[in-house]
Amino acid sequence: MASTVIHAYYDDDDVLMHAVKKVKAAKHHIEEVYCPFPVHGLDKAMGLAPTRIAITSFMYGCLGLTVAIVMMNYIMIADWPQDIGGKPSFSYMENMPAFVPIMFEMTVFFAAHLMVITFYLRSRLWPFKKSENPDPKTTDDQFVMEIEVHDNEAELKELLLDTGAVELNIIKNSH
């Protein structure tokens, strides 16, 4: 099956945001937008679902806090209790104020590292992965909006040129 897409090139992120809003208002589906840097608000303008990475971050932080509490209770109370600075070594609750920095650091450590790993796995990014951007210019100074053509090529070209596209390319893919 052959599919045709239009790549509309933009040289400014504000012009791109305006173009995305106009294309969505005209009821066209934007397949993808390739940018050299993150554009604030682009996901909402494209109508993408909100990310759930914050939820996973909270769960990973809770896991880190749990690991820190269990680890400190085992190491400092159960396994090898020591009298450090005159603090009692028989109760976790009596020592907890001294353990707060460790609990905080383990929470942040787990949340940060596991969130990055989750992002890479979810985005299917791994070492030696071939890039998916359609044009090397999108890693430097150009923005590309990709729209699939459904017997409306002339209408799309006119719309995209009206939105400020500096270049249009028609790409025919055969799958």
Name the β-bridge partners of 146: 7, 32
Distance of alpha carbon 1 from alpha carbon 175, whole angstroms:
6
User: What's the mean pLDDT in 130-147?
Assistant: 87
3-state SS class at 99: helix
DSSP code per residue over 53-85? HHHHHHHHHHHHHHHHHHHHIIIIIII-----T
The predicted-structure confidence for 8-54, as pLDDT tens digits, reads as follows 999 999 999 999 999 999 999 999 999 999 999 999 999 888 888 88
Two structure tokens written together for 138: 């999108």
pLDDT tens profile 145-174: 999 888 888 888 999 999 999 999 888 875
In sequence order, what are the residues at sequence separation of 6 or more whose Cβ sits closer than 8 angstroms to the Cβ of residue 171?
4, 5, 6, 7, 134
74 vs 61, 78, 90, CA distance in Å?
20, 5, 11
| Band of residue 130 on the pLDDT scale cut at 50, 70, 90 | confident
C-alpha torsion angle, residues 90, 96, 98, 99 (rounded to 10): 110
* Residue 175 confidence class, pLDDT cut points 50, 70, 90: low
Is the confidence at residue 136, as pLDDT, over 90?
no
